[in-house]
């Protein structure tokens, strides 16, 4: 079955450590997105990519980095510069470049906690 | 003004009643509107999308769009306890003129259906 796979499901980060969240899709979607969800704040866009080898900053990109070397993969690195990384991270994809008209398919999420 | 506004709730309705969820948006150029359902601890899933003024029905769900008033609503008929979840309103917004689109989410309305 087609879908989006995020791993790991739970991740614990030590102070000053970089961690990478994986996102893989087999839906043949062009566009991929990373959102962060905090209680009471809804989903906030971190980065998005409409095509391979191209990505754009979202509303809260500071302290994060991404790459899009393959259509299927859009990993997110949470760097030590991100001072409050504890959150639920959601990866999503949509059908066509520049068009989110059909809505997103979401992965199951990664819950990141700073220890 | 927030780009997408929703009342966080909770909205409590008895089983079998109609639940009415509301959302307003600020960008008059928006063309696509979505409702996602999110169960506690899970990722959002798309349940409805609407592009044109008026009503769109899918089973027990009806989405209503009024572009002049910049207002979107979701009606759930014959509400069931399994409908208890947070409902996210999302709107497609142009990032740059003629450039990329992104979807902006409201904070979500928590619905509780009381047996």
Choose among B36, B51, B102: nearest Cβ to A48: B102
Percent residues over pLDDT 90 in chain A: 70
Q: What is the residue-level pLDDT of chain B in tens, covering all 115 positions?
A: 678 999 999 999 999 999 999 999 998 888 889 999 999 999 999 999 998 889 999 999 999 999 999 999 999 999 999 999 999 999 987 766 556 677 889 999 999 999 9
Question: If you average pLDDT over residues A1-14, what whole number do you get?
Answer: 91
pLDDT tens, A44-95? 999 999 889 999 999 899 999 999 999 999 999 999 888 899 999 999 998 8
Q: Chain B partners of A100 at a C-beta cutoff of 8 Å?
A: 32, 92, 101-103
Q: Is B68 exposed, middle or buried (0-12, 13-18, 19+ CB in 10 A)?
A: exposed
Confidence of residue A101 (pLDDT cuts 50, 70, 90): low
pLDDT (0 to 100) of residue B94:
72
pLDDT (0 to 100) of residue B97:
57
CA distance B87 to B74: 9
Q: Chain A partners of B49 at a C-beta cutoff of 8 Å?
A: 101-103
pLDDT (0 to 100) of residue A115:
85
Tell which residue, B83, B87, B84, B85, has the closest CA to residue B74.
Answer: B87
Q: Does A39 touch chain B (CB under 8 A)?
A: no
To probe the interface with B, which of A103, A110, A113 has the most B CB atoms within 10 Å?
A103
Residue A111 in 3-state DSSP?
strand
pLDDT (0 to 100) of residue B5:
94
Quick check: A100 pLDDT over 60?
Answer: no
Are the C-beta atoms of residues A100 and B102 closer than 8 Å to each other?
A: yes
Q: Does A52 touch chain B (CB under 8 A)?
A: no
User: Which of the two residues, A115 and B58, has the higher pLDDT score?
Assistant: B58
Tell which residue, B31, B25, B48, has the closest CA to residue B105.
Answer: B25
Which residue on chain A is closest to B108 by alpha carbon? A42
Quick check: A98 pLDDT over 60?
Answer: no
């Amino acid at each position: 079955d087609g879908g989006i796979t995020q791993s790991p499901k739970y991740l614990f980060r030590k102070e000053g450590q970089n961690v990478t969240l994986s996102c893989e899709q087999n839906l043949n979607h062009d566009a991929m997105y990373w959102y962060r969800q905090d209680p009471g704040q809804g989903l906030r866009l971190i980065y998005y990519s409409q095509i391979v080898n191209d990505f754009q900053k979202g509303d809260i990109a500071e302290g994060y980095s991404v790459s899009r070397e393959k259509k299927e993969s859009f990993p997110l690195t949470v760097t030590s510069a991100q001072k409050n990384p504890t959150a639920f991270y959601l990866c999503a994809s949509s059908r066509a470049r520049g068009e989110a008209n059909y809505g997103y398919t979401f992965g199951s999420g990664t819950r990141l906690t700073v220890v | 003004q927030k780009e997408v506004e929703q009342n966080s709730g909770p909205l409590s309705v008895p089983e079998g009643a109609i639940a009415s969820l509301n959302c307003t948006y600020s960008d008059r150029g928006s063309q696509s509107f979505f409702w996602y359902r999110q169960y506690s601890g899970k990722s959002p899933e798309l349940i409805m999308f609407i592009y044109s003024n008026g009503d769109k029905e899918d089973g027990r769900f009806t989405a209503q769009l009024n572009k002049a008033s910049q207002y979107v609503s979701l009606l759930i008929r014959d509400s069931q306890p399994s409908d208890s979840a947070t409902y996210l309103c999302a709107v497609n917004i142009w990032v740059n003129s003629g450039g990329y689109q992104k979807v902006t989410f409201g904070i979500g309305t928590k619905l509780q259906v009381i047996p």
